[in-house]
Amino acid sequence: MTLLIIRKHTSPDAKPTNTHTSQPTNSPQKMSNLTGWHPGERIVRHKLGFDQIPSLARTFNSISGELPEQQSTFYTERLPFLPVCVLDDESRPWGSILAGKDGRRGFIHHPRYNTLSIEAKLWDGEPFLQNVKTNDREKDSALIAGIGVEVSTRRRNKFAGNITRLEKNEDVVNFELVVNEAIGYAFNYSRFFLTLMRLAGIARNTSRYAN
């Protein structure tokens, strides 16, 4: 068995300092992790005209700085697989699909309010482990992002965070990650079609100039 301890970007036992009165007093307080859109995101939103839609102006507030209980239950009880993304030694993103040894639900656990523990089988050629090791540099902690999808309902939740501990035993990897960004989605057909209509308009305008 090999053991890899990765420099912690955020302590899994750190107590949030933000106060949010809608949360029960006996549970961790909800934290907002973002104060605005990323500069690149602002450029894309401007090009697509999303910055002119008031209802979408501050949707970054829906991104939590911790893992809400509803989402943690979703990961631990509803998913037979989990697509994730990590970086290689050149900071290029690599996608992996993690699943348990038997392919069933329950390979993800939730030991703390901001932590997920995952025990997954790695198949031949899977780059996940090597990328996590090579990305464990002094200045860059091992970043990870993922999206859980319940195929039958199209429900999906996204997370981003840092891997803090990793063990490997033959073809099984067991690791913990601290979540610092989490967002839940329900499939929104109206917004989906609005986006398609806007993109279709942009495509028509682009093809007009191309011809």
Q: Would you state the pLDDT for residue 33?
A: 58
CB 62 within 8 A of CB 70: no
Residues 82 and 49 in one domain: no
209: three-class secondary structure by DSSP: helix
Q: Are residues 201 and 113 in the same domain?
A: yes
- How many separate domains does the chain show? 2
- What CATH number is associated with residue 151? 2.30.110.10
Domain of residue 54, residue span: 31-62
Residue that wins the pLDDT comparison between 140 and 89: 89
Residue 42: predicted pLDDT: 83
* Residues 188 and 88 both lie in one domain: yes
DSSP notation for 68-107: -HHHHHHHHHS-SEEEEEEE-TTS-EEEEEEE-TTS-S--
What's the confidence (pLDDT) of residue 197? 61
Is residue 135 packed enough to be buried (19+ CB in 10 Å), middle (13-18) or exposed (0-12)? buried
Strand, coil or helix: what is 188?
coil
- The residue from 62, 84, 105 where one domain ends is 62
- What is the model's pLDDT at position 80? 95
Shared-domain flag, residues 145 and 51: no
58 and 144 in a common domain: no
Domain end position, chosen among 39, 62, 85: 62
Same domain membership, residue 152 and residue 95:
yes
Alpha-carbon distance of 98 to 107, in angstroms, equals 9
49 DSSP assignment: T
Residues 114 and 97 in one domain: yes
The pLDDT > 70 percentage for the chain reads 65
Do residues 70 and 58 both lie within one domain?
A: no
pLDDT of 112 higher than 50: yes
**Local confidence band at 21 (pLDDT 50, 70, 90 cut-offs):** very low
pTM: 0.65
Contact 179, 16 (CB under 8 A): no
Query: Is the domain of 114 the same as that of 207?
Result: yes
Tell me, yes or no, whether 109 and 182 share the same domain: yes
Q: Return the structure tokens found at 193.
A: 């079609």
- Residue 187 sits in the same domain as residue 207: yes
